[in-house]
Chain A
Amino acid sequence: MQYIDNIIFFIAMVVGFGLFFKSLKEIYRNILLGKKIDRSDQKAERWGIMARVALGQSKMVKRPIAGILHIFVYVGFVIINIELIEIIVDGIFGTHRFLAGILGDSLYSFFTATLEVLALLVVIAVVLFFIRRNFYGIKRFTMKELFGWPKHDANWILVIEFALMMAFFTMNSSDWVLQQRQVLAAHGSFPISANILGPLFQNFSDNALIFTERGAWWFHFIGILFFMNYLYYSKHLHILLAFPNTWFANLKPKGQFTNLDSVTKEIKLMMDPNADPYAAAPEADPNEVPEKFGASDIFDLNRVQLMNAYSCTECGRCTSVCPANITGKKLSPRKIMMDTRDRIEEVGRNINKNGKFVDDGKKLLDDHIQREELWACTTCNACVEACPILIDPLSIIVEMRRFLVMEQSAAPQELNQMMTNIENNAAPWQYNQADRLKWATEN
């Protein structure tokens, strides 16, 4: 019976990680629903961007307060996860603070002291984030698209992080008192626990302290497993996907849109003076699926765009700089990303249920994203510039406009007029091409 703890621990770990990898597999499967896109060029540059933007948080600090608080939570998260190694080894083998033996006492003290300071910074940041998000009336946190789950999700993340850090401190504090009483071997240094929380535990009996220490240790571990699995349902997925998302980012100038190859072929044929207008159409490949222009659903978007949607943490920096949104139009680049993810997940559930996707009569366009939103975009790239992890909402907007115009001829009337003018007069206005040089002879 003495191994019962270790066995329970091991089972919890396997189940926790197992479910987590199952979720990851599902996300990966869903991302593959998108069209292939080759973003494997310029590898050195891509690693550099990932190091700077995802690891180095270079775009987060553009808004210094949120940026610095975010760095506290982020660095705290990364380093505290090193402790997960210790938890796992201690849990499986029933050891106590096994890293102390590996690192040596002075290095281990440095390690635990660093963790304590970071954990305190995380607590401070998380509390400030909670206050800021809920009571400051910051516009990007109070917008309609955040009503319901997105808002609760954001708060749950903060609550869970707070609870995990509190468990960590409780564990260290009781451990520290036990070390003082020489019940446990003395390992590590705990500047915060010893000075702030430790005194509260002084009056506990040894048994109560051992119980508290173990309780907090288990809470911390189970909490991490829970949080890991919560990611699948949460915007917090960005802690993982920010890395591939920045690696696969678009490296071309922001103003450069893709040229559709299928269109080029058509137009070249149209312009070819040697093409025989009466020639029979070439034998069509019966298996060929006619290419669809633009995007009306997630299947028409590329895989990076779908990953973008999963990576979005709904911070709303894009929307807060969007000229259309600032002036009260319906467009919100953040909502474009949230809608895209909602639709991917809807399709994912459909596949889980039916084994493959069965038409559900819904689309990303109209059922999630409204035309009015799409037509309000000025393609100014402010949203793309603002995203801390290089998400590109504009590319989705453009793909959907392409669908509206080329598949449905559903552009606003004035734009149809403009496009007709270009076709007829080679200018967006109704002027005669022969008058193009008139300015040169005017005064």
Chain B
Amino acid sequence: MDFTIKTMAEYAAEGKAPEVLFFVGCAGSFDDRAKKITKAFCKILNKVGIEFAVLGQEESCNGDPAKRAGNEFVFQMMALTNIEIMNAYEVKKIVTTCPHCFNIIKNEYPGLGGNYEVLHHTQFLRKLMEEGRLKIEGGTFKGKRITFHDPCYLGRANGEYEAPRQLLEKLDAELVEMKRCKSNGLCCGAGGAQMFKEPEPGNKDINIERTEEALSEKPNIIATGCPFCNTMMTDGVKHFNNNEVTVKDIAELLAEAEDL
């Protein structure tokens, strides 16, 4: 990164508070592919001039995979740890690039004493766009076909279908919808802790089914809004030996449009 990412601790040491806490998440911190999404999002925030911070080493897993697997102990251990730290920094507003972090902090942390305004990065970026702080020139994507894969934990779980689409529309590309989209969207196969295990026996893997559907729309780009969807769809595209179609997070597409 060619600028410095500041932590909450550093802001606190300066006696200041950032506009928003970027909760990076495990995938965004450690997974090589997801790190690119993290960086792209940071570049946009930096370009717009948003004062943001991350928790850095003080961040813990949000607890989602443990919770969905049924381990309430491990979930609450993580949740209460994060809440304690975030409350100590008097965090008000959180943005995430991962719908799983977004969902759990927004919906399940309040019951444990963590009350914040939580936004998915597509919601945050849309807000910046509406406020005129973020301007998107989509020239690079003119004539391209993009299909968006709805993440379950953003869409069905929280009813947000429009924010990612409104951002994509700004790219001047042709947005094509898969047959199963929005509230009927098909899971990528990673949710519910499936990311961390082999699937149960069946005819095919879920991500293959989903990628097949996406590819049938003949897109140039499959857009995602979740690091796990991104991995699953990338694997799916590889499975079909397709070198033409790329899988990109909306943050990456916006950063590319701005040549960041």
Residues A439 and B73 in contact, CB atoms below 8 Å apart: no
For A270, give the chain B residue with the smallest CB separation.
B77
Residues of chain B lying within 8 A (CB to CB) of residue A326 = 186, 206, 209
Residues B30 and A329 in contact, CB atoms below 8 Å apart: no
Q: Which residue of B65, B106, B197 contacts A412 across the interface (Cβ within 8 Å)?
A: B197
Q: Which residue of A375, A402, A436 contacts B29 across the interface (Cβ within 8 Å)?
A: A436
For A267, give the chain B residue with the smallest CB separation.
B76
Residues of chain A lying within 8 A (CB to CB) of residue B203 = 327-328
Q: Which residue of A264, A329, A377, A434 contacts B57 across the interface (Cβ within 8 Å)?
A: A434
Q: Does B63 contact A (CB under 8 A)?
A: yes
Residues A327 and B209 in contact, CB atoms below 8 Å apart: yes
Residues A380 and B187 in contact, CB atoms below 8 Å apart: yes
Q: Does A357 contact B (CB under 8 A)?
A: no
For B157, give the chain A residue with the smallest CB separation.
A255
Given that A418-B65, A433-B57, A439-B35 are known contacts, is A329 also in contact with B199, CB under 8 Å in the complex?
yes
Residues of chain B lying within 8 A (CB to CB) of residue A379 = 68, 152, 191-192
Residues B56 and A437 in contact, CB atoms below 8 Å apart: yes
Segment with Cβ contacts to B, from A9-17, A86-94, A158-166, A422-430: A422-430
Residues A255 and B107 in contact, CB atoms below 8 Å apart: yes
In the complex, A202→B106 CA distance in Å? 72
Q: Which residue of B56, B65, B106, B197 contacts A422 across the interface (Cβ within 8 Å)?
A: B65
Residues of chain A lying within 8 A (CB to CB) of residue B78 = 422, 426
Q: Does A155 contact B (CB under 8 A)?
A: no
Residues A436 and B57 in contact, CB atoms below 8 Å apart: yes
Residues A414 and B80 in contact, CB atoms below 8 Å apart: no
Most chain B CB atoms below 10 A, which of A256, A293, A398: A256
Q: Which residue of B5, B70, B197 contacts A404 across the interface (Cβ within 8 Å)?
A: B70
Residues of chain A lying within 8 A (CB to CB) of residue B54 = 437, 440
Residues A414 and B24 in contact, CB atoms below 8 Å apart: no
> In the complex, what's the smallest C-beta–C-beta distance from A396 to chain B, in angstroms?
12
Give how many A-B residue pairs fall within 8 Å (CB-CB).
Answer: 229
> In the complex, what's the smallest C-beta–C-beta distance from B140 to chain A, in angstroms?
22
In the complex, A246→B186 CA distance in Å? 25
For B7, give the chain A residue with the smallest CB separation.
A437
Q: Does A443 contact B (CB under 8 A)?
A: yes
In the complex, A195→B41 CA distance in Å? 71
Q: Does B220 contact A (CB under 8 A)?
A: no
In B1-20, the 8 Å CB interface with A consists of 1, 4-5, 7
Q: Which residue of A264, A415, A439, A443 contacts B193 across the interface (Cβ within 8 Å)?
A: A415
> In the complex, what's the smallest C-beta–C-beta distance from B26 to chain A, in angstroms?
4
Residues of chain A lying within 8 A (CB to CB) of residue B60 = 426-427, 433
Residues of chain A lying within 8 A (CB to CB) of residue B57 = 433-434, 436-437
> In the complex, what's the smallest C-beta–C-beta distance from B205 to chain A, in angstroms?
7
Residues B186 and A323 in contact, CB atoms below 8 Å apart: yes
> In the complex, what's the smallest C-beta–C-beta distance from B111 to chain A, in angstroms?
5
Residues A382 and B66 in contact, CB atoms below 8 Å apart: no
In the complex, A439→B43 CA distance in Å? 13
Most chain B CB atoms below 10 A, which of A324, A385, A428: A428
Residues of chain B lying within 8 A (CB to CB) of residue A438 = 29
Q: Does A395 contact B (CB under 8 A)?
A: no
Residues A252 and B30 in contact, CB atoms below 8 Å apart: no
In the complex, A435→B59 CA distance in Å? 11
Residues A415 and B80 in contact, CB atoms below 8 Å apart: no
> In the complex, what's the smallest C-beta–C-beta distance from B89 to chain A, in angstroms?
16
Q: Does A393 contact B (CB under 8 A)?
A: no
Q: Does A106 contact B (CB under 8 A)?
A: no
Residues of chain A lying within 8 A (CB to CB) of residue B1 = 439-443
Residues of chain A lying within 8 A (CB to CB) of residue B191 = 378-380
Residues B200 and A440 in contact, CB atoms below 8 Å apart: no
In the complex, A329→B194 CA distance in Å? 13
Q: Does B134 contact A (CB under 8 A)?
A: no
Q: Does A188 contact B (CB under 8 A)?
A: no
Q: Scan A314-356; emit 1 where CB is below 8 A from any B CB, else 0.
A: 0000000101101111110000000000000000000000000
Given that A264-B112, A440-B5 are known contacts, is A422 also in contact with B70, CB under 8 Å in the complex?
no
Q: Which residue of B31, B73, B152 contacts A378 across the interface (Cβ within 8 Å)?
A: B152
In the complex, A130→B192 CA distance in Å? 37
Residues of chain B lying within 8 A (CB to CB) of residue A404 = 70
Residues A428 and B26 in contact, CB atoms below 8 Å apart: yes
In A221-276, the 8 Å CB interface with B consists of 252-257, 259-260, 263-264, 266-268, 270-271
For A427, give the chain B residue with the smallest CB separation.
B26
Q: Does A57 contact B (CB under 8 A)?
A: no
Can you report 12 residue pairs joining A to B where beta carbons are below 8 Å apart?
A255-B156, A256-B108, A259-B76, A267-B76, A271-B84, A323-B186, A323-B209, A376-B200, A415-B196, A427-B60, A429-B26, A440-B1
6 closest A-B pairs by beta carbon, nearest first, are A255-B157, A401-B70, A328-B203, A379-B192, A328-B202, A256-B107
Given A254-B157, A440-B5, 11 more contacts at CB 8 Å? A259-B76, A324-B202, A327-B204, A327-B205, A328-B202, A378-B192, A380-B192, A382-B184, A402-B72, A429-B26, A440-B56
